[in-house]
């Protein structure tokens, strides 16, 4: 907090200093919780909030003319974008600092997925985990065999006591049931 107060105090316009200090005091929790969605490290969150405030200081004149609800949205947007930019630049720095050992294991790393897409995938995974227990034993066994254990259609047919040619249709139906449950779970969450 001392760094922020020092930064705000360095602003030559006294009315801007007071205005930005008000914004900081009023929206600090909102800004911090916005950054927290992208990073769990409190020190990094503080740093991103400070960087966001530095950007907002430059826009003090524009911010004064905004209504309260628009101002809050603008602050959240600025904070979110700053967090994403910070994480991207940190990832680039880390990539440049990788050692030969890291390069030897690079084929084991997860693919480079944009942060918003990764968050969407994590949410979908959590929803899928919730509904997986609601499936019938046969559907669970079929889907686990196919997607977790990578069994062939012949192996699945032997396990389930059916024809190999019927496995594709059983998988299609099981996936549809999962999708319906996930969609229903999503509606329940909203």
What torsion do the CA atoms of 81, 84, 90, 95 make, to the nearest 10 degrees?
Answer: -130
Angle (CA) 111-113-116 rounded to 5° is: 160
pLDDT at 101: 47
Sign of CA dihedral 110, 37, 3, 11: positive
Query: What does the alpha-carbon distance between residue 136 and residue 37 come to, in Å, rounded to a whole number?
Result: 35
Contact 71, 63 (CB under 8 A): yes
Please give the DSSP secondary-structure letter assigned to residue 107: G
> 144-166 pLDDT, tens per residue?
888 777 888 888 888 888 999 99
Q: Structure pTM?
A: 0.47
pLDDT in tens, 82-139: 988 888 887 777 666 554 445 544 544 555 667 777 777 777 777 777 777 788 888 8
């Amino acid at each position: 907090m001392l760094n922020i107060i020092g930064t705000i105090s360095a602003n030559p316009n006294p009315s801007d200093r007071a205005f930005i200090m008000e914004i900081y005091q009023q929206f600090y929790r909102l800004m911090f919780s916005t950054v927290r969605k992208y990073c769990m490290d409190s020190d990094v969150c503080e740093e991103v909030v400070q960087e966001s405030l530095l950007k907002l200081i430059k826009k003090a004149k524009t911010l004064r003319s905004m209504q309260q609800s628009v101002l809050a949205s603008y602050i959240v947007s600025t904070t979110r974008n700053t967090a994403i930019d910070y994480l991207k630049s940190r990832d680039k720095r880390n990539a440049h600092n990788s050692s030969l050992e890291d390069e030897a294991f690079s084929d084991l790393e997860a693919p480079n997925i944009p942060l918003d897409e990764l968050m969407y995938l994590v949410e979908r995974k959590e929803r899928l985990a919730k509904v997986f227990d609601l499936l019938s034993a046969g559907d669970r066994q079929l889907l686990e065999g196919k997607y977790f254990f990578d069994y062939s259609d012949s192996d699945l047919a032997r396990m389930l006591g059916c024809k190999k040619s019927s496995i594709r249709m059983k998988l299609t139906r099981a996936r549809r049931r999962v999708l319906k449950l996930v969609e229903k779970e999503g509606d329940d969450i909203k």
